[in-house]
C-alpha cells in the first residue's frame, strides 16, 4: 500500500491525511526518565524503591549513571518521530555533591538542562516523595510529625524553584507533578485528619508564587498501592477538589483508578472544571502495574478523547510505565510511538460525520462507520509520518532496537 493510495482512501471518507500528519508532528509527549533505570535514580545518600511502586524484571542494560541514561534517551528520541520532552524526577540529580531532598538546587540538575538544550527537548519535573528514610511510614506531607512534614514541604518547594528555572531556561513552562505515597495499610480511624494535613502541607508547599510561564504545579491522585491498600490520602476526589479550588493542573494516571473505569471518559468530565490536565498514560493490568502501553482499546480511546473533545491544547501528555523484563529502550520507543499512533488514528477519523450521526441519534450509522473505519490503511500513513521524520518503522525499527540493546546488554 503506497502512501498516495492510502491517502486517497482516507479522502473518500473526507479525512485529510496530510493535515493529520502535520498535526501529529506538533504534539510533544513527555517521556518519563524512570523507564530507563527501573525507578532507581542517582542519589548516593538514600534511596531504595518504596511508596508501593516497583519495577519487576532484571533485563540486562539498566542505565546506572546519568550519562548512560542520557545515551539511552538519545537513542530513544532518535527513533521517535517529532520533538518531545523528558519528565525528570528529583531523584535523578546529576552531581558530585550529596544533597538530601531538602537541599537540592538547580545546579544539581544543570547537566540535564544543558543536555536538553543541546538535543532540543523540553523538561518536566517531579518532586520525589518516595524511596527515602523519611517516607518509610508511607506518610510524607500527611505525616503527623511536623519535622517530617516540613522536610517534605521544603523538598517540594525546592523542586518548584528548580522547575521554574528549567522553564525559564527552555522558554516554556516545566510541569512539576506532585505525587505522594501517603496512605494506610489498614483501615484508618481518622481519614479526615490525614486529608486535612495533606491539604495544609500542600498549601504551604505551593504558597511561594511561581510564574506560570515558567512552571505549573500538577497534582496526581491514586486509588491504592502496595502497603497502602486501605486508604490513599491523596485520592481522586481529594485532588480533583484541590485542583479546582487552587487552580493547579490535574494529573490523571491511567493506573490509578478502579481497573474497570474508563479513564478516557474522565477527560471531558474533569475538563469542565479544571483548566489544564496532565496525563500519565499507562496500562494497568489488574492493578497499577505500569505495563508498557500498547495500541489497546484504552489507549486508542484516550487518543480519540483528546482529539474529539478538543483537549490537546490544554493537556500535557506524559507517560508512566516501567517494565524491566524487556529492553528498556525498546519499551520507551514502542510505548511512546504507540501514544503517537493512538493520536494519529484519532486524527484520521471522520470526526464531523461521526458526531453528526450521534447527534441525529443515528447509532446504526455511527456503529457501521466506526467498524468499517478500522479497516482503513492506517499503517501506510504512520509509515509516511516516520519516513518524513527520517525514522525507521517495521523491521528496520526492530533492527535498530535490537542492535542498541545488544550494545547495552553488557552493563553490569
Q: How far apart, in whole angstroms, are the C-alpha atoms of residue 188 and residue 325?
A: 36
Nearer to ligand RNT among residue 92 and residue 404 (C-beta): 92
Whether the CB-CB separation of 73 and 36 falls below 8 Å is answered with yes
Nearer to ligand RNT among residue 220 and residue 384 (C-beta): 220
| Residues contacting residue 237 through CB under 8 Å, at least 6 positions apart | none
CB of 52: closest distance to ligand RNT in angstroms? 7
- Which of 94, 220, 323, 384 is in the footprint of ligand RNT by CB under 6 A? 220
Largest CA distance in the chain: 66
Q: What DSSP letter does each residue of 52-109 carry, written as one string?
A: T-------S----SHHHHHHHHHHHHTTSSS--EEEEEGGG---SS---GGG--GGGG
| Residues contacting residue 361 through CB under 8 Å, at least 6 positions apart | none
User: What residues act catalytically?
Assistant: 179, 220, 222, 253, 256, 280, 288, 290, 320
Angle between helices 328-347 and 297-308 (to 10 degrees): 50
Query: Per-residue x/- mask for ligand RNT, residues 74 to 113, rule CB under 6 A?
Result: ---------------x------------------------
Which residues within the stretch 177-216 sit at the binding site for ligand RNT (CB under 6 A)? 179
Nearer to ligand RNT among residue 34 and residue 257 (C-beta): 34
H or E element at residue 152: helix 146-170
Q: How far is CA 303 from CA 3, 110, 184, 294, 306, in A?
A: 22, 34, 34, 12, 5
When asked if residue 34 is in the footprint of ligand RNT (CB under 6 A), the reply is yes
Which residues within the stretch 225-284 sit at the binding site for Zn ion (CB under 5 A)? 253, 280
In the list Zn ion, ligand RNT, none, the entry touching 378 (Cβ below 5 to 8 angstroms by class) is none
243: number of Cβ within 10 Å: 23
Give first-to-last CA distance, the chain, whole Å: 44
CB of 219: closest distance to Zn ion in angstroms? 11
CB of 288: closest distance to ligand RNT in angstroms? 6
46 is written with which cell numbers?
Answer: 538514600
| Residues contacting residue 186 through CB under 8 Å, at least 6 positions apart | 229, 230
Nearer to Zn ion among residue 199 and residue 253 (C-beta): 253
Query: Per-residue x/- mask for Zn ion, residues 303 to 332, rule CB under 5 A?
Result: -----------------x------------
Nearer to ligand RNT among residue 94 and residue 253 (C-beta): 253
Count of residues engaged in binding ligand RNT, rule: CB under 6 A? 12
When asked if residue 400 is in the footprint of ligand RNT (CB under 6 A), the reply is no
Closest-CA residue to 8 (of 376, 336, 403): 376
In the list ligand RNT, Zn ion, none, the entry touching 283 (Cβ below 5 to 8 angstroms by class) is none
| Residues contacting residue 222 through CB under 8 Å, at least 6 positions apart | 179, 183, 232, 234, 235, 253, 256, 288
Nearer to ligand RNT among residue 143 and residue 222 (C-beta): 222
Which residues on adjacent β-strands are paired with residue 215? 174
Q: What region, left, alpha or beta, does residue 219 occupy, with left being phi > 0 and alpha being psi -120 to 50 degrees?
A: beta
CB of 283: closest distance to Zn ion in angstroms? 12
CA dihedral sign, ordered 48, 51, 53, 56: positive
Which residues within the stretch 296-335 sit at the binding site for ligand RNT (CB under 6 A)? 320
- Which of 124, 253, 323, 400 is in the footprint of ligand RNT by CB under 6 A? 253
Count of residues engaged in binding Zn ion, rule: CB under 5 A? 3
| Residues contacting residue 411 through CB under 8 Å, at least 6 positions apart | 60, 61, 62, 63, 64, 68
CB of 324: closest distance to ligand RNT in angstroms? 14
When asked if residue 129 is in the footprint of ligand RNT (CB under 6 A), the reply is no
Nearer to Zn ion among residue 263 and residue 349 (C-beta): 263
Nearer to Zn ion among residue 15 and residue 293 (C-beta): 293
Residue nearest to ligand RNT (CB): 179
In the list Zn ion, ligand RNT, none, the entry touching 158 (Cβ below 5 to 8 angstroms by class) is none
In the list Zn ion, ligand RNT, none, the entry touching 53 (Cβ below 5 to 8 angstroms by class) is ligand RNT
Given the rule CB under 6 A, which residues bind ligand RNT?
A: 34, 39, 53, 89, 126, 179, 220, 222, 253, 280, 288, 320
Given the rule CB under 5 A, which residues bind Zn ion?
A: 253, 280, 320
Amino acid at each position: 500500500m503506497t502512501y498516495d493510495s492510502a491517502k486517497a482512501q482516507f479522502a473518500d471518507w473526507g479525512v485529510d491525511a496530510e493535515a493529520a500528519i502535520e498535526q501529529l508532528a506538533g504534539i510533544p509527549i513527555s517521556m518519563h526518565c524512570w523507564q530507563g533505570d527501573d525507578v532507581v535514580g542517582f542519589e548516593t545518600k538514600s534511596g531504595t524503591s518504596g511508596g508501593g511502586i516497583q519495577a519487576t524484571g532484571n533485563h540486562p542494560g539498566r542505565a546506572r549513571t546519568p550519562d548512560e541514561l542520557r545515551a539511552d534517551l538519545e537513542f530513544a528520541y532518535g527513533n521517535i518521530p517529532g520533538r518531545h520532552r523528558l519528565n525528570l524526577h528529583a531523584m535523578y540529580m546529576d552531581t558530585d555533591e550529596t544533597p538530601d531532598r531538602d537541599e537540592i538546587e538547580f545546579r544539581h540538575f544543570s547537566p540535564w538542562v544543558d543536555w536538553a538544550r543541546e538535543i532540543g527537548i523540553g523538561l518536566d519535573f517531579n518532586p520525589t516523595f518516595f524511596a527515602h528514610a523519611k517516607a518509610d511510614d508511607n506518610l510524607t506531607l500527611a505525616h503527623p510529625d511536623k519535622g517530617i512534614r516540613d522536610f517534605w514541604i521544603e523538598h517540594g518547594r525546592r523542586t518548584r524553584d528548580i522547575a521554574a528555572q528549567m522553564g525559564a531556561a527552555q522558554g516554556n513552562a516545566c510541569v512539576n507533578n506532585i505525587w505522594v505515597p501517603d496512605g494506610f495499610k489498614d483501615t484508618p480511624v481518622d481519614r479526615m485528619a490525614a486529608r486535612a494535613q495533606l491539604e495544609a502541607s500542600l498549601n504551604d508547599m505551593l504558597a511561594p508564587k511561581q510564574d506560570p510561564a515558567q512552571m505549573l504545579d500538577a497534582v496526581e491522585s491514586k486509588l491504592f498501592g502496595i502497603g497502602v491498600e486501605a486508604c490513599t490520602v491523596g485520592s481522586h476526589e481529594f485532588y480533583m477538589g484541590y485542583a479546582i479550588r487552587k487552580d493547579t493542573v490535574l494529573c490523571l494516571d491511567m493506573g490509578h483508578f478502579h481497573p474497570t473505569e474508563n479513564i478516557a471518559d474522565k477527560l471531558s468530565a474533569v475538563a469542565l472544571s479544571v483548566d489544564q490536565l496532565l496525563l500519565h498514560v499507562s496500562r494497568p493490568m489488574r492493578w497499577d502495574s505500569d505495563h508498557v502501553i500498547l495500541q489497546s482499546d484504552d489507549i486508542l480511546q484516550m487518543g480519540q478523547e483528546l482529539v474529539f473533545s478538543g483537549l490537546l491544547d490544554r493537556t500535557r501528555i506524559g507517560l508512566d510505565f516501567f517494565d524491566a523484563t524487556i529492553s528498556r529502550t525498546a519499551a520507551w520507543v514502542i510505548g511512546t510511538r504507540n501514544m503517537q499512533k493512538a493520536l494519529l488514528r484519532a486524527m484520521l477519523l471522520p470526526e464531523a460525520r461521526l458526531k453528526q450521526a450521534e447527534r441525529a441519534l443515528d447509532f446504526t450509522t455511527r456503529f457501521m462507520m466506526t467498524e468499517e473505519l478500522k479497516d482503513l490503511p492506517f499503517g501506510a500513513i504512520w509509515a509516511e509520518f516516520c519516513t518524513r521524520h527520517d525514522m525507521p518503522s517495521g523491521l528496520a525499527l526492530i533492527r535498530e532496537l535490537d542492535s542498541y540493546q545488544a550494545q547495552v546488554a553488557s552493563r553490569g
